[in-house]
Amino acid sequence: MCKSKLYFIVIVAAIILACSAIDAVAWDGQRKGFVIGFGAGPGLFVPPYTHRLDPDIQPQTGVHVDLKIGYALTNQILIHYSGTTCLRTSGDRGKWSFVWPSLAVSYYLNPEARSFHFGGGIGGMLGAPVGGDWLRWGNTFHVSAGYEVASHWDIGLTVGCAYFKPEYRVAWSVRVALMVVGY
């Protein structure tokens, strides 16, 4: 079995075990109030310097891990911190290490579970090639769409873009994540 698939299976199993250990009575089924979520899934990351400064830097796939912490103003509007990083990437050369924090807003079409949702956010991206001697900060934005398949279970697609000055380079990311959300 491929290491990336094994990592993904381990992460999903850990999320399921963690959820089963939490007292379900504490989750009232209403999105309004404090919200915390963890998720993981496959993703593609295209670093900002692909084929330019270093020919070894290539687009990479891996298991992206997401964190969501925030407050839902209503059962449909959620304001939250959204953070993403990549645990494992493809290939042995040209890997990038990055973290993608942002302030985001999500809107659920229905106030109860089994709802489509859309969102977006702005923030930053801190990244550097693994083993590289330089670090870059870029401004970012992302858009997302997903479906809450059941209470506390969500699957979604996120597309993000980072803009780096002064070189005027762009990095982007596409990922799909299965997320468990406590509310």
Q: What is the per-residue pLDDT for 1?
A: 53
Sequence spans of domains, the chain: 3-182
Q: What's the pTM value of the predicted model, to 2 decimals?
A: 0.76
Low-confidence ranges of the chain (pLDDT < 50): 21, 23-26
Q: What is the per-residue pLDDT for 70?
A: 93
- For the chain, give the secondary structure using H, E and C: CCHHHHHHHHHHHHHHHHHHHCCHHHCCCCCCEEEEEEEEEEEEEECCCECCCECCCCCEEEEEEEEEEEEECCCCEEEEEEEEEEEEECCCCCCEEEEEEEEEEEEECCCCCCEEEEEEEEEEEEEEECCCCCCEEEEEEEEEEEEEEECCEEEEEEEEEEEECCCCEEEEEEEEEEEEEEC
Q: Using one digit for the tens of pLDDT, what is the confidence trace for 31-66?
A: 888 899 999 999 888 876 655 555 566 677 888 889
Choices 2.40.160.20, 1.10.10.410, 3.30.300.30, 2.170.16.10: CATH for 3-182:
2.40.160.20
Q: What is the per-residue pLDDT for 143?
A: 95
